[in-house]
Amino acid sequence: MALITSSVLQSAQIISLPNIKRDLLIAIKECNARGLLHSVKWAAQLSYALSSTKPSSPPTTTEEESTEFLEEFDQYTLAKSYFDLKEYDRAAYFVEKCKSSRAYFLHIYGRYLSGEKKKYDEMPDPLGPLEYADLKNESLRTLRIELSQKHSKGELDGFCLYLYGVVLKKLGLYKEAVSTLVEAITLTPLHWGSWLELSGLLTDKDMLSSLTLPDHWMKEFFAAHTCLELQMNEEALKRYETLKETGFHKSLYIKAEIAIATHNLRDADMAVTLFSELQQSDPFMLDHMDIFSNLLYVKEMKPELGYLAHKCCEIDKYRVETAHVIGNFYSMRSQHEKAALYFQRALKLNPQYLAAWTLLGHEYMEMKNTSAAIQAYRQAIEVNRRDYRAWYGLGQTYEILKMPFYCLYYYKQAQQLRPNDSRMLVALGESFEKLEKIQEAKKCYWRAYSVGDVEGQALIKLAKLHENLKEDDQAATFYTKFVEQAEIMGTIETEDRCNAYLFLANYYLKKKRFEEASSYAHKCCAHNETKEDGKAILRQISNMRAATETPSNSDSQSESSKLPASTANENTPVCSRVTPMDLTFTP
């Protein structure tokens, strides 16, 4: 796994910051000339973080000096002006016969974006996820044939190869897309868009480590981003922290990625702090505010989420992030119809916006519309098969529909994406239990406890499973562990704790271990649900102890000699001396 284990510090020692600054300026120039605005934005953010660093040499390119490009400059400039105004067909038309690489890229990119725009323009107002299912870009097959012919002749540069890879990906030819994007990166490593598209095609760390990529400084950013996408959050966090130390400590992009990794690691308090710092550094930033709103939603910070929604509206009410934030705000207020409306609005702005599909599925679940929820989750998986939330949502939906074989399949997919997430393991265990696959269920519950049970449910389910199987000794062991965990966490359901106390009180009563039984019986008495059961057990303990005593003085003396000195000479009944403080018990 050379790619994953490679050292960022070693690369930083080989490539100096002045060289990186020069590369970034070249990337900005080249990507801007081709209308690749997101790559321009990414490179500009990194360049701004290196504002105190001077480039090692002027950022010039050979394309600008070629005779072919100079002869076609007027056509290219006119087409680029139309392209910037999103008149894609018009832009493609004016550079249709141009031969230079920039002009040709603008031609095919204009045709591609025109097809994408028409596909979504024909879409009616979204009334539900079924509206999106059969949309197609009719120009993809024509573009594939044309680019394939030029590729076989070796006439495509790195940027055109990138677009060829995107077309293959859209057509579902993922293996060919990976090899084409690797070729594009090898020819043009400064184009961040190629790295991003390749990252979206990788499904696991083995696939990541098998790639043969150029030894370029951008590979470190790619590795960090891919680790984050593959839920290798600790590895991603280490890489981004190391990149900060090598000279990118001012980069807002890296700070945002660290905040996302912290969020994925479920350190909500730290993630909220990091996102708040990002807001202070760039008060008009909307990037990643959707994730920030998810955090505020989970932490039930209603005033903060309301303020964020208001601020996003002031900045740009027609951004997908704004619609997402407002949707979360209405969802927190249990106005699920309005929440679904705003998530649909986000999808109208960008049908490839993954988070909105998943959250739309959640809202449909809240409204008991399971068929629409299933379609929304399926569409989320179409956008990104690595979205464990969509797989998990499908599992929950089929669980409600009482289709355990289906939910087992979807929970398995979610668990493979998040192997150390206790929620996935508990859900998987429940599915195995419903299908009477008891051994598999036991393994899932135990692993959920071993990796750190977030919701504190693994032990109680494991204990109940053993109780149902009449394996009282094992059940008592897990109930005891559960009680210890519950007292530490303090967030466990009272009903589960009461059940645990009651079982343990009865278990120790059968074993005639009266002190332990009394301790748990008194804990039962502290809750209304099990108060009467606790009193009944205490009476049984009192009767069983009284039955062991004989009326003769000698026997009484003999019996009293076995009692502790503090109680042997007392004449009060045993049951009246039993108090919670006297019988504290630590399993």
- Which DSSP state fits 551? S
Please tell me which of 126-135, 207-216, 217-226 the model is most confident about, judged by mean pLDDT.
217-226
* pLDDT for residue 61: 62
One-letter identity of residue 483: V
* pLDDT for residue 568: 40
What is the percent of the chain where pLDDT is above 90? 58
One-letter identity of residue 512: K
| Residues 293-317, mean pLDDT to the nearest whole number | 95
pLDDT per residue over 401-429, tens digit each? 999 899 999 999 999 988 888 899 999 99
Are the C-beta atoms of 386 and 229 separated by less than 8 Å?
A: yes
* pLDDT for residue 271: 95
Confidence category of residue 526, pLDDT binned at 50, 70, 90: confident
* pLDDT for residue 352: 85
| Residues 477-484, mean pLDDT to the nearest whole number | 89
Confidence category of residue 351, pLDDT binned at 50, 70, 90: confident
What is the percent of the chain where pLDDT is above 70? 87
* pLDDT for residue 62: 57
| Residues 534-561, mean pLDDT to the nearest whole number | 68
User: What does the domain layout of the chain look like in residue ranges?
Assistant: 66-120
SS3 content of the chain, % helix, strand, coil (to 5): 75, 0, 25
Burial (CB < 10 A; 0-12, 13-18, 19+), residue 38, is exposed
Nearest to 134 by CA among 296, 375, 329: 375
Which stretch of 146-150, 446-450, 483-487, 583-587 has the lowest confidence by average pLDDT? 583-587
Nearest to 345 by CA among 372, 318, 383: 318
Nearest to 317 by CA among 358, 349, 360, 279: 349
Give the sign of the dihedral formed by CA 418, CA 419, CA 421, CA 426. positive
119: tokens are: 């596909």
| Residues 551-561, mean pLDDT to the nearest whole number | 46
* pLDDT for residue 570: 40
| Residues 514-523, mean pLDDT to the nearest whole number | 89
Q: Among the residues of 188-319, which ranges form H helices?
A: 192-199, 205-209, 218-229, 233-243, 252-264, 268-281, 289-298, 302-315
Which residue would you say has higher pLDDT here, 369 or 581?
Answer: 369
* pLDDT for residue 133: 46
C-alpha Rg value of the chain to the nearest Å: 32
Answer whether residue 529 shows pLDDT above 70.
yes
Confidence category of residue 55, pLDDT binned at 50, 70, 90: confident
Nearest to 267 by CA among 242, 234, 301, 289: 234
| Residues 19-46, mean pLDDT to the nearest whole number | 94
Burial (CB < 10 A; 0-12, 13-18, 19+), residue 206, is exposed
If you write DSSP's letter for every residue of 477-518 in order, what string do you get?
A: HHHHHHHHHHHHH--S-HHHHHHHHHHHHHHHHHTT-HHHHH
439: tokens are: 């051994």
Nearest to 508 by CA among 495, 518, 499, 498: 518
Assign 3-class secondary structure to 203-231.
CCHHHHHCCCCCCCCHHHHHHHHHHHHCC
552-565: burial string, b at 16+ Cβ within 10 Å, e else: eeeeeeeeeeeeee
* pLDDT for residue 494: 76
Helix, strand, or coil (residue 154): coil
Are the C-beta atoms of 205 and 1 separated by less than 8 Å?
A: yes
Within 10 angstroms of residue 1's Cβ, the number of other Cβ atoms is: 10
Which residue would you say has higher pLDDT here, 561 or 76?
Answer: 76
Are the C-beta atoms of 486 and 506 separated by less than 8 Å?
A: no
pLDDT per residue over 88-141, tens digit each? 999 999 999 998 899 999 999 999 999 988 887 776 554 444 444 456 778 899
* Residue with token string 């197609």: 136
| Distance set, CA 4 to CA 14, 178, 222, 347, 502 (Å) | 18, 18, 10, 34, 50
135: tokens are: 């949309």
Which stretch of 51-60, 125-134, 221-230 has the lowest confidence by average pLDDT? 125-134
pLDDT per residue over 247-289, tens digit each? 899 999 999 999 999 999 889 999 999 999 999 999 999 999 9
- Which DSSP state fits 554? H
